[in-house]
Amino acid sequence: MTSEAHDTNAAALEVETLEDLLDAAHMRLARMEQANDERIPGAIVRRLAEGAVPLTVWREYRGLSPAMLADRSGVPLGTVAEIEAGKEEVPLRVMGSIARALSIDVDDLVPWQNDR
């Protein structure tokens, strides 16, 4: 085997080893992310699927009153009440503050489409 062929084989082996290490790291990361996933009770999913206001569902699930959520999120209580009453034009900044206070993603506050 020539020196050049040996260097090529060694480099290929090193690349393969690094790819294996990267794959292993991705698997560990995926397991850690999965371990942090919250399990949502079926009753909550049903309420959302039936068209309940997501903010109300999540707020109640977290055991917060509207005033507690307003305080925790920094969003005025009147705005929380308007959103729960169905106000549709809510700034993303406001929804982001509420989502962070509820430990959910902003898109969890979007009403589910009921295509039935």
Can you give the pLDDT at residue 37?
Answer: 72
Residue 108, C-beta contacts closer than 8 angstroms, at least 6 positions apart: 54, 58, 99, 102
DSSP state, 110? S
pLDDT in tens, 58-82: 999 999 999 999 999 999 999 999 9
Bigger pLDDT: 53 vs 34 = 53
Give the separation between CA 37 and CA 33, rounded to whole angstroms: 7
Can you give the pLDDT at residue 15?
Answer: 85
Model's pTM, two decimal places? 0.66
CATH architecture observed for domain 42-109: Orthogonal Bundle (1.10)
Can you give the pLDDT at residue 10?
Answer: 83
Give the separation between CA 46 and CA 116, rounded to whole angstroms: 14
pLDDT above 60 for 115? no
Residue in 109, 111, 82 with CA at minimum distance from that of residue 96:
109
List the chain domain ranges.
Answer: 1-37, 42-109
pLDDT in tens, 5-50: 777 888 888 888 888 877 777 677 666 555 567 788 999 999 999 9
Residue 97, C-beta contacts closer than 8 angstroms, at least 6 positions apart: 73, 74, 75
